[in-house]
Amino acid sequence: MSVLSARRAGACLIVVVAFAMLATSATAALDLTPPTKPGNLRVTAKTLTSVSMAWNASTDNSGNLSYRVRLWGDPTVVTLPKTQTSYTWTGLRPGVQYYFWVEAVDGSGNKSTSDLLVVETVRDTTAPSPPGNLDVG
């Protein structure tokens, strides 16, 4: 094989590899189908300062998705793997109403959103203990 033939063969190989890479990324970018909606978002437990929730799993045509748990008015976004369909949000205040939702997001960025979950944390009804060892003198 001459040097010229080897160069042509190398150039052809580079073009074929580049085309294959472009075709693969173009196919991935064509996914416009969002995952199914995370269904039946529900409270599984609540305390003074936390809310535990669960939802039915989503599916996606790519098989690749994750969940984002969101709280209205809070910039925090909790990302969970597709195998985890429950979460406990902590650090809340007693007796306050909160609004949660879950998004299923696939690898192409398509997403679907659950219904809104409205839940009030447990009210603090326990009176503080009286002060002890008072001294008048």
User: For position 14, what pLDDT does the model report?
Assistant: 52
Ranges under pLDDT 50 in the chain: 4, 10-13, 15-26
User: For position 79, what pLDDT does the model report?
Assistant: 98
User: For position 18, what pLDDT does the model report?
Assistant: 47
**127-137: b (≥16 Cβ within 10 Å) or e:** eeeeeeeeeee
Q: Is 77 left (phi over 0), alpha (psi -120 to 50) or beta?
A: beta
- Global pTM value: 0.73
Q: Rounded to the nearest 5 degrees, what angle is found at the Cα of 68, between the Cα atoms of 36 and 56?
A: 45
Distance from C-alpha of 83 to C-alpha of 2, rounded to nearest angstrom? 56
5-26 pLDDT tens trace: 555 554 444 544 444 444 444 4
User: For position 69, what pLDDT does the model report?
Assistant: 98
